Amino acid sequence: MKKISLLTFALLAFQLVIGQNTTSVDYFNWSNPETFKVSPSPIIKGYGYYSDSLSQVFNGKEFYVHNNEYYCIESWADYYYWFTQEYRHLFEDPQIYEYYYFAGDDYGMASYIASNKYQGDFYPSSITLSFKERTAETNRLASASYIPSNDKDMEVLNKELETKRDISSSSTKQNYTQEKGPDVFDKKRDKESRLQNNNYNKVAPELDEKSSSSKRSTEKSIR
């Protein structure tokens, strides 16, 4: 069982990442499991009580936990969906990423993560993003500027992760009983219901070259 605290694990993982080169990921490979496999492992992970057991059942796949629900992490799309759920306080309008995720829009997901919608000082991964023939209004991952490069950077990242947590989320986790067994997130099962969820009351903004000539406040209704 993986019982290492988030901070301890992150610092240990960071020592392994320091010597690795940053990998550039093309936006159209955001949901590609092979791209995820050959990329440096995420710096921040989210193992839970049942992660090892689920990994054994599902042929070595990794599972991260959020609010007692286990998410299968097979791509950068999956990883950042989990991350936007677990650390919603670091994102502006995280439901936008959720919409792109269920819509299977790699460009939308990647451009959202690379934009100022993510308000952390550093990213929890050591990848950069390339938009090739397309552009993004803001690409904070065009270079390694926002990727932790030393222990001080990691301390800043971990402080952001740990000190701004939603209190109700923490209390929910504390009241969890392990005897209940793991609840595994099912993307296919939830796709239709979540796309039609009333929480999607804002349009996911166009983050390509067209948006630079239009106001960010332009919105359309999502069906």
Whether residue 165 is contained in a domain is answered as: yes
Distance in angstroms (rounded) separating the CA atoms of residues 164 and 144:
25
Which stretches within 66-150 are classed as H helix? 76-86, 94-103, 106-114
pLDDT less than 50: residues of the chain: 1-5, 7-19, 167-177, 198, 201-203, 205, 207-223
Whether residue 221 is contained in a domain is answered as: no
Whether residue 136 is contained in a domain is answered as: yes
Q: Give pLDDT tens digits for 3-60.
A: 444 544 444 444 444 435 689 999 999 999 999 999 999 999 999 999 999 999 999 9
Whether residue 75 is contained in a domain is answered as: yes
Q: The whole model's pTM is what? A: 0.76
Q: Hey, what's the torsion of the CAs at 216, 218, 221, 223, to 10 degrees?
A: -50
Whether residue 1 is contained in a domain is answered as: no
Whether residue 58 is contained in a domain is answered as: yes
Q: With contact defined as beta carbons under 8 Å apart, do 107 and 28 qualify?
A: yes
Q: What percent of the chain lies above the pLDDT cut of 90?
A: 60
What domain count does the chain have? 1
Q: Which residues span the domain enclosing 193?
A: 6-213
